[in-house]
Chains A and B, each alone.
Chain A
């Protein structure tokens, strides 16, 4: 008995050391993965925060050389473009996702699914060019509509795909329970399957909005940007990403600062949206 104990202890000690080393490795690697994220965040906050002021949210960009000015118009424009894009893409995406998940069986559905997968990986600059050719060129004007369509075009496949995946998580026996209650199929889908998946769908909506909110390329040739308040949806529309872009490549120190502040604002928007998504999931999770 006595001679066996040390071997046991030794093996166990070796196991513990190995365990510790692996744990250390995993923890430090995830730390490394976070470094670039924190660097970006740190840099944007450090350079952007000082330039933020109430004025920045409410006023128009100042002409070169004049101090002050803000991106109020770009903020409003961005929100309008995002809102329009959501109005187009979210209902379409959810209903498309319902089709794929609840009805999509045959060849047609398979091809829809394939196209959706392709669309999710279309580079955003291509989306911008496509909307330019389809909308901007015939209308002979950049517009908020065009920008919204470009965003919607990016959101739609993502919404469809995630809605499909979410609805497929609903077990089939819940669907059958709905049918067995004597509900027609569409009522069962809308009021039981979709409703039961509401927290996940809301999260998907918020994340798809946050995902496109910072996209610049689709707006470059569509919304274009504008140094004034948005003057109708068929006019070139001011928006944060293109404003940041044009300020960042300008030669003026003051504009650089404003670009940083804009970048900070954009980051803040995405952050807030994500925060809402989290809070909603947390609250709905308590209701499960």
Chain B
């Protein structure tokens, strides 16, 4: 696809993670360059969502979860003992599989929640942030006249873009997406995919997807996970046309998974 910029924004070294005695990730190494879209593909249960949730340390919110290894955001370690997950999550936003606007909050309140709960009260600052986040998420034109309407009153696809706007409003350099379109219809999916293309200018995106066409369409780098291991990673075009590993080939050609 495009020529990749060279700076690494995320570096993952020998990442192991799991729950109790179960090891879900068995030593993952991956580099993510700035302004790149990285697609994580692989069959269900291969650990790609767990991997994603390690990056913003949401993984450890589950009882019995553990992480080992190293994750670097630029040159700052994310897993060190002194690292505050709350601080890390302001740098790494996340969009979930199911659209999950905050219940009982208007569209405006949803997008401004991250800023407001950080103590930013000034109305003009919040209004600007909400407007630019909604524009970035390509939702502004549809909701600008009903910012006071409840977030949950929007359609599924709009709700998902609202969640993207909510994540963008605190201006994280990285956004993680965990199968963001799996609950959406084809048209909404296409809108989100377009959006990802545009967002690349501003943020780095790591996206989990079950849909290989989607990975091929939107990503620069593709990483293929299988049974907790990273089998192969490389340029998306290379992974889908000339995979080096026979398991990758079998998966991307649809012979299993």
Which of chain A's residues has its CB closest to B61's CB? A179
Given contacts A105-B63, A176-B96, contact A184 B86 (CB under 8 A): yes
CB < 8 Å neighbour of A180 from B63, B94, B152: B94
Minimum distance in angstroms from A107 CB to a CB of chain B: 14
User: Is A178's beta carbon under 8 Å from chain B?
Assistant: yes
Which of chain A's residues has its CB closest to B153's CB? A288
User: Is A18's beta carbon under 8 Å from chain B?
Assistant: no
Give the size category of B's interface with A.
Answer: 20 to 34
In the bound complex, what is the Cα–Cα distance between A180 and B167 (angstroms)?
Answer: 8
User: Is B89's beta carbon under 8 Å from chain A?
Assistant: yes
CB < 8 Å neighbour of B86 from A171, A174, A183: A183
In the bound complex, what is the Cα–Cα distance between A173 and B91 (angstroms)?
Answer: 20
User: Is A35's beta carbon under 8 Å from chain B?
Assistant: no
> Which among A7-15, A195-203, A266-274 touches the partner chain?
A195-203
0 or 1 for each of A168-193: is its CB under 8 Å from B? (1 = yes):
00110110111111111001000110
0 or 1 for each of B53-67: is its CB under 8 Å from A? (1 = yes):
000101001010000
Which A residues touch B87, using CB under 8 A? 182
User: Is B166's beta carbon under 8 Å from chain A?
Assistant: yes
Minimum distance in angstroms from A189 CB to a CB of chain B: 12
Which of chain A's residues has its CB closest to B163's CB? A177
Which of B61, B85, B104 gathers the greatest number of chain A CB atoms within 10 Å?
B104
Residues on B lying within 8 angstroms of A by beta carbon are 56, 58, 61, 63, 85-91, 93-94, 96-98, 100, 102-105, 113-114, 117-118, 150, 152-153, 163, 166-167, 170
9 contacts between A and B (CB under 8 A): A170-B103, A174-B102, A176-B58, A177-B96, A178-B113, A179-B61, A180-B58, A181-B117, A195-B104
Residues on A lying within 8 angstroms of B by beta carbon are 105, 170-171, 173-174, 176-184, 187, 191-192, 195-199, 284, 287-288
